Amino acid sequence: MFFEKSNLYAANGYMVYVLQPSGAVGYGQKFSSLHVNDWGIKVADEIILGVKTLLTEHPYIDPAGVGCTGASYGGFMTMLLTTRTDLFAAAISHAGISDIASHWGQGYYGLGYCSVAAADSYPWNRRDIFVDQSPLFSADKIHTPLLLTHGTVDTNVSSGQSMQIYAALRLLNREVELLQFTGENHGIENYDRRSAWKKAALAWFDKYLKKQPQWWRNQYGPK
């Protein structure tokens, strides 16, 4: 799914930079296990460093036109990054986790996933993970325009994870939009809704990275 969208972004004039930070697959079990009980502490710093290095080594890239996007745990990382840096001019989080504690206790997947990703850690003994690493609890630090997308029947990450960060950012008067896709689970499978999802992502980046808001306005109005 990600690489399909990467090709789509590239075809629409974007340079796509894919990182493999600590905890990613493809470099052995030891490297993959680095994400356990970390929840973005290492990865956020690695991504920020990687992007800054990219901009330094490729000066033709406009540093004011960089965006970030991710889905599921990547959606969580996208939200977390916006609490740590203003490096990105826009961000898109699909089916991301905003509150690790409530994700731990919700749905068919939260407890099972956290038994690995947060092994032997629980909301009552690891506040540093479940609160301090939850984007919701640092919502006041988010200044990056953020698009949230989520299926309404997501059994992996409850749609409430996007709804609560959306509510927080609206109360803080930040640039945020939430698109919910009726009847969709963790991915967007219906052809028409999937097409709308892709168009929304491109229009959001066009608005903030290319300074071309026309497509977004045409789809969703002036705001």
Across the 223 residues of the chain, what is the mean pLDDT of every consecutive 10-residue run? 73 93 89 91 96 96 96 96 98 97 85 89 96 98 98 95 98 98 96 96 97 94 71
By the 8 A CB rule, do 93 and 79 touch? yes
Nearest of 133, 125, 110, 127 to residue 35 by alpha carbon: 133
Structural domain including 84 reads: 2-220
CA 163 to chain centre: 14
Sign of the torsion formed by the C-alpha atoms of 52, 49, 97 and 20: positive
Distances (CA, A) of 17 to 21, 68, 127: 12, 9, 33
Q: Which residue is associated with the tokens 């977004």?
A: 216
CB-based burial of residue 30 (10 Å sphere; 0-12 exposed, 13-18 middle, 19+ buried)?
exposed
CA distance 136 to 162: 10
**Angle ∠(56,57,63) on CA atoms, nearest 5:** 45
8 A C-beta contact, residue 103 and residue 157: yes
Domains: count for the chain: 1
Q: What is the pLDDT of residue 183?
A: 97
pLDDT score of 1: 44
Q: Which of 200, 185, 184 is nearest to 8 (CA)?
A: 200
CA distances from 162 to 92, 95, 107, 147 (A): 11, 7, 14, 10
This prediction has a pTM of 0.94
What pLDDT does residue 4 have?
59
168: CATH: 3.40.50.1820
